[in-house]
């Protein structure tokens, strides 16, 4: 259940209600909106039904949330959540582009990519330093060295850093270098990782598991929010279907669906979604039309020699052309870039 406080409810009134909720054995979770404060209550709803919280001063209403993903649901919060990554906004009409190589391969390539991507309008630099590779014999990432290259390149070009955390043991290290943590598709239901990442203070990019439903994705987001971090950005990156021509199948339905069901922003990754360079731009633009709040695009100075995901990485000129189209469309939609 959620308790909606009246516009202008005092801090004291809010604190009194929170205290009462805790006394009743429920876990209160407060979200301060622009106008109203909402207190989500996790636990047995029957307890609240039999104790009239409505009668406390400053309470406007007590509502039942029917969805199992309480805090992630639109029922809980009507307005779009806007996530702030080092001053870059995502959601609620703010569009952000994250670009960079699949893996951080060296310092020079991170600098040249950051320069090109930031000049083209991307404000978040991506790159994996810890890579989830299907084969143990494939390049596994440069680890901390890679994180350092990425952070230096991002600082130089005034960008934020997003990078994947594969394991609970990496959180502390990655926290020193990243502005946003990425949870990869293979880890979307790694519940220990979701719980731990929920204890951090930075935004989380949560990628959809390759055989997960929208409900599974929102439940994964719920784990992070219930853990204490409500800065979650969802990401569609394609799912496994019977189609083999493309690496994955982009489920474009999820973009408007997520907007109906949740207040969280959702972005599209057409690189992993298609696995083919020639399809990245058309699918990226389709994502914009579907209402995505951002894009994650793999780009590489020389995709032919990339250590991972070369076939789906855009060349610099292709990324620049994509960004010109993105900007034109955002103007048409009256949306701002980051
Ligand atoms: C990635 O973004 O580098 C990645 C590995 O993506 P996914 O988890 O979607 O496969
Ligand atoms: Mn990749």
| Tokens 């569609």, located at residue | 236
Q: How far is the CA of 272 from the centre of ligand 1 (A)?
A: 7
Nearest CA to ligand 1 atom 8: 184
Lowest mean pLDDT among 21-30, 158-167, 267-276: 21-30
- The answer, yes or no, to whether any atom of ligand 1 lies below 6 A from the CB of 311, is no
If pLDDT is split at 50, 70 and 90, which confidence band does 111 have?
very high
Closest of 281, 260, 278, 276 to residue 268, by C-alpha = 281
- The answer, yes or no, to whether any atom of ligand 1 lies below 6 A from the CB of 132, is yes
On whether the CB atoms of residues 17 and 58 are closer than 8 A, the answer is yes
Lowest mean pLDDT among 56-65, 148-157, 279-288: 56-65
Please, what are the domains in the chain? 2-63 (3.30.70.1140), 83-337 (3.20.20.70)
On whether the CB atoms of residues 172 and 199 are closer than 8 A, the answer is no
Closest of 212, 269, 210, 268 to residue 240, by C-alpha = 210
User: What's the length of the chain?
Assistant: 338
Copy the structure tokens of residue 198.
């929920």
- pTM (2 decimals)? 0.93
- The answer, yes or no, to whether any atom of ligand 1 lies below 6 A from the CB of 259, is no
End-to-end CA distance of the chain: 33
Closest of 47, 36, 48, 27 to residue 8, by C-alpha = 36
Residue 33 has pLDDT above 90, yes or no: no
Give the whole-angstrom CA distance, residue 315 versus residue 320: 9
Using the atom order of ligand 1, give the atom closest to the CA of residue 235.
Answer: 9
Tens of pLDDT, residues 207-238? 999 999 999 999 999 999 988 899 999 999 99
Helix ranges restricted to H, the chain? 11-23, 45-50, 107-120, 144-156, 171-175, 191-197, 214-226, 254-261, 270-274, 277-290, 316-333
Residue 309 has pLDDT above 90, yes or no: yes
If pLDDT is split at 50, 70 and 90, which confidence band does 290 have?
very high
- The answer, yes or no, to whether any atom of ligand 1 lies below 6 A from the CB of 275, is no
On whether the CB atoms of residues 296 and 268 are closer than 8 A, the answer is yes
Q: What is the pLDDT of residue 209?
A: 98
Q: Alpha-carbon Rg of the chain, whole angstroms?
A: 21
Give the whole-angstrom CA distance, residue 42 versus residue 29: 8
Lowest mean pLDDT among 35-49, 118-132, 147-161, 311-325: 35-49
- The answer, yes or no, to whether any atom of ligand 1 lies below 6 A from the CB of 272, is yes
Residue 117 has pLDDT above 80, yes or no: yes
């Amino acid at each position: 259940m959620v308790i909606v406080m009246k516009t202008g409810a005092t801090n004291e009134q809010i604190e009194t209600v929170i205290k009462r909720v805790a006394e009743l054995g429920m876990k209160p979770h407060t979200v301060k909106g622009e106008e109203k404060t909402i207190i989500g209550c996790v636990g047995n709803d029957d307890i609240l039904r039999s104790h009239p919280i409505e009668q406390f001063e400053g309470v406007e209403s007590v509502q039942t949330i029917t969805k199992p993903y309480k805090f992630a649901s639109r029922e809980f919060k009507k307005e779009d959540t806007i996530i702030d990554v080092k001053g870059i906004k995502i959601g609620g009409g703010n569009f952000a582009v994250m670009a960079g190589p699949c893996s951080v391969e060296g310092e020079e390539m991170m600098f040249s990519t950051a320069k090109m991507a930031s000049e083209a309008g991307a404000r978040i630099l991506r790159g994996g330093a810890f890579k989830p590779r299907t084969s143990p014999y494939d390049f596994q990432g440069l680890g901390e060295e890679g994180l350092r290259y990425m952070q230096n390149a991002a600082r130089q070009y005034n960008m934020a850093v997003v990078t994947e955390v594969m394991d609970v043991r990496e959180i502390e290290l990655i926290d020193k270098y990243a502005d946003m943590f990425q949870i990869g598709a293979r880890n979307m239901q790694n519940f220990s990782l979701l719980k731990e990442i929920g204890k951090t203070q930075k935004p989380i990019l949560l990628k959809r598991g390759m055989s997960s439903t929208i409900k599974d994705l929102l439940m994964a987001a719920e784990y992070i929010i219930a853990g204490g971090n409500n800065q979650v950005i969802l990401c569609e990156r394609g799912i496994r279907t019977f189609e083999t021509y493309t690496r994955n199948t982009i489920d474009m339905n999820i973009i408007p669906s997520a907007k109906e069901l949740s207040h969280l922003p959702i972005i599209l990754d057409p690189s992993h979604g298609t696995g083919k360079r020639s399809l990245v731009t058309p699918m990226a633009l389709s994502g914009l039309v579907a209402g995505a709040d951002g894009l994650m695009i793999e780009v590489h100075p020389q995709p032919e020699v990339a250590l991972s995901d070369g076939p789906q990485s855009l060349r610099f000129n292709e990324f620049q052309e994509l960004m010109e189209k993105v900007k034109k469309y955002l103007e048409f939609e009256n949306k701002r870039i980051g």
